[in-house]
């Protein structure tokens, strides 16, 4: 049975939806934002229902999510592959009812502008030429710049929502070296300018958002300013170091691999219990054997929890027609070492 969380914690890690976000106090004076008019939380689920209800957060993760919510600061989540860094975002938005997670996957080619908004001038030019031809022929046709502007995940998260949206900035350690510092300015200001609107005589337009859960939103004076600072969850596999200025403006948490067989078993039960089902909610012997094998092999090289889930799922079905020796071999093949190295202990 899960112990009750302290009353100050808005996010409980219970996986049960509630209205606790309304208990969040006013932000610190230096993190107050005044964008408007306020927008309601968009309808819909988290965008990944399985991850939202199967993720089991640890005490550190729960505390640091709450710290990020209270302080209106980004949360930098580090850890080995498969520790649930991305799943945390879906779990939080599911429990707190914050709408669909805004997902921004990062590569070395991604720029700050990609996260804020996209403008399609070429399509607008073609449309203007068609409209000009229609007017020459006596028919209507106007130019709406909002048809060619779409906010990105970051740009959408910074809209003036009454409740914070959840933004998942996935694998920020893969970014260009300048992106973390570029993000600092946006996170401090809580606002950004849409240059193509600001240049117009009437810098107001209704533009599309990154998700499909809301109608177009009106941007006034070419500027977007948040109201409730979003819960920004940035994941990192630890492949690079970040500048001190970036780190001191983030709340950080390092997710650890499960420490023992019991914790791994609980994770497997959450994900695959209904599939491989044993008696009284217990996992069948075959699944427990693969968990033991995973834990044994993990001491010889890097493995991820999702590899264990894949192995149990595959071996559960293979066991109906394969010899036990072949099933154990299949488990090892589905769980290759991610580091490319293994000690002799694994070959024994």
* CA atoms in the 13 A half-sphere facing the CB of 119: 12
Q: pLDDT tens across 198-211, in order?
A: 888 888 899 999 98
- Biggest alpha carbon–alpha carbon distance for the chain: 83
- Per the prediction, the chain carries an average pLDDT of 88
CA 103 to CA 168: how far, in whole Å? 5
Residue 17: closest CA among 39, 49, 40: 49
Pairing of strands 149-151, 75-79: unpaired
pLDDT band at 323 (very low <50, low <70, confident <90, very high): confident
Helices (H), the chain: 49-54, 59-71, 85-96, 112-116, 121-136, 153-157, 179-189, 195-198, 244-247, 261-276, 285-298, 305-318, 324-334, 344-347
Scored b (16 or more CB within 10 A) or e, 52-76 reads: bbbbbbbeebbbbbbebbbbbbbbb
pLDDT band at 253 (very low <50, low <70, confident <90, very high): very high
Contacting residues for 110 by C-beta, under 8 A, at least 6 apart: 104, 175, 176, 179
- Check if the beta carbon of residue 100 is closer than 8 Å to that of residue 93: yes
Q: Which two tokens stand for residue 171?
A: 């694998």
Q: pLDDT tens across 134-151, in order?
A: 655 544 455 678 888 999
Residue 93 has pLDDT above 90, yes or no: yes
Pairing of strands 191-193, 205-207: unpaired
Signed CA dihedral, 116, 122, 124, 125: sign only: positive
pLDDT band at 344 (very low <50, low <70, confident <90, very high): very low
């Amino acid at each position: 049975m899960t112990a009750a969380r302290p009353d100050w914690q808005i996010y409980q890690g219970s996986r049960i939806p509630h209205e606790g976000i309304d208990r969040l106090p006013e932000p610190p004076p230096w993190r107050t934002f005044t964008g408007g008019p306020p927008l309601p939380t968009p309808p819909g689920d988290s965008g990944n229902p399985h991850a939202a209800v199967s993720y089991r957060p640890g005490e550190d993760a729960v505390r640091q999510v709450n710290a990020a919510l209270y302080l209106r600061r980004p949360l930098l989540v580090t850890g080995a592959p498969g520790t649930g860094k991305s799943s945390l975002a879906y779990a939080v938005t599911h429990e707190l009812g914050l709408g669909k997670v805004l997902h921004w996957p990062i590569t070395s080619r991604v720029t700050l502008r990609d996260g804020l908004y996209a403008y399609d001038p070429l399509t607008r030019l073609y449309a203007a030429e068609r409209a000009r031809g229609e007017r020459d022929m006596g028919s209507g046709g106007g130019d709406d710049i909002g048809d060619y502007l779409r906010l990105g995940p970051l740009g959408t998260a910074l809209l003036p929502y009454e409740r914070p949206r959840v933004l998942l900035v996935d694998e920020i350690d893969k970014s260009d070296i300048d992106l973390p510092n570029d993000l600092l300015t946006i996170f401090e200001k809580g606002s950004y300018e849409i240059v193509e609107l600001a240049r117009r005589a009437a810098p107001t337009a209704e533009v599309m958002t990154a998700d499909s859960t809301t109608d177009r939103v009106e941007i006034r004076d070419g500027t977007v300013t948040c109201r409730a600072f979003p819960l920004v969850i940035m994941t990192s596999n630890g492949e690079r170091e970040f500048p001190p200025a970036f780190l001191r403006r983030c709340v950080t948490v390092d997710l650890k691999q499960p420490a023992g067989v019991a914790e791994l078993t609980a994770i497997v039960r959450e994900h695959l219990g209904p599939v491989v089902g044993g008696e009284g909610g217990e996992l069948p012997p075959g699944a427990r054997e693969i968990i033991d094998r995973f834990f044994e092999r993990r001491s010889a090289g890097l493995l991820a929890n999702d590899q264990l889930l894949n192995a149990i799922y595959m071996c559960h079905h293979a066991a109906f027609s394969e010899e036990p020796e072949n099933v154990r071999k299949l488990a090892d093949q589905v769980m290759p070492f991610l580091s490319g190295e293994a000690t002799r202990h694994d070959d024994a």
